Every structure is written in C-alpha cells, then in structure tokens.
Amino acid sequence: MNIRPVRYDHPDAVKLNDQVQLEYIERYGDGGDQTDLNATMFDPPQGLYLLAYDTEDRPVATGGWRAHEKNEENYADGDAELKRMYVIPEARGLGIARRILAALEESAREAGRTRMVLETGDQQPEAIALYLSSGYELCTEKFGYYRDYPSSRCFAKPLNP
C-alpha cells in the first residue's frame, strides 16, 4: 500500500469522490454530499489530501483535512475537518482507512491544528465504528453543512502535541 499526497482535483481523487457520492446516494437517497469543497481548501499548510494506491497502482482510498476557525457552522478555532474518507468496497477491512486517518491526524497536528472534527451520517456504521475506535467522541453540539439534519453525527478528537 502506497499513500501519497495529491490535490483534491487530481483525476484519481475525482474518480473516488464520484464513487463515494454514489454510495451516499445509495445510503441516504438524496443527491450526495452537498458540502462546498474546492481543491485549494486541502492545500498545505491549511489542509492535506491523501490517496492510497494498491500494489497495482490502483487508487483504493482517499481522505483529507481542511482547516477551520470559529464560524457560523459551529467550528472552533484550530479545527481540522476530515473530509472524503473513503475506501473502495473491495479494499475494505484491510486497515487502509485507519492508516489514512493516522496520517491526516499527524499532518493536522504538525500544522498546529488542535482538534480533528468530522461529520458523518447514521447510515455509515462502519465509519462511526472507525472513529469511535480511534478515540473520537460524539459531539453534542453539531457543526458543518449538515449540522441541522437528524441523521448527522459529529465527532471530535483533541490533537495533543
């Protein structure tokens, strides 16, 4: 497994983003994730986007973080938000998401971020299990684009130095 930084608009990232959007539609029955994202949001040092490739150099997983400061969507100063954590179905269960998550946390910590946050949905039990087993805690005050949706679940983890 080879994990490498890429831009959010890299062709392989776009391909996997299209796949995760289809999965969101299957699970939630709507138009996918409507969060406004662009490639510059993930550019270091204010973010990072990673792709994992298998031994045949096929893209199999992605994940990124972007910086936030206190704003109207209930983010706090020093937040790093996880976005687009996704592993293709045939590569699940191999620990790839956990490796990407650890690399993203380390990058955000090195960039001076103090808390990693994420929003997922109640129809993604695999994601919820990953985050809980990685030290994330459910937040009572929700944040982000979907903060007012009943199916939204928000999690946070301090990024201690």
DSSP of 59-101, one letter per residue? Answer: EEEEEEEEEE-S-TTS--TTEEEEEEEEE-GGGTTSSHHHHHH
Q: Give residue-wise pLDDT tens across range 103-147.
A: 999 999 999 999 999 999 999 999 999 999 999 999 999 999 999
Cβ-contact 70, 78 below 8 angstroms = no
Which three-class secondary structure state does DSSP give residue 17?
helix
d(C-alpha 11, C-alpha 34), whole Å: 20
Domains of the chain: 2-158 (3.40.630.30)
What predicted TM-score, i.e. pTM, was given to this entire model?
A: 0.95
Query: How many helical (H) and strand (E) elements, i.e. helices and strands, does the chain have?
Result: 3, 7
pLDDT at residue 101, rounded to an integer = 98
Q: Give residue-wise pLDDT tens across range 9-49.
A: 999 999 999 999 999 999 998 878 889 899 999 999 999 99
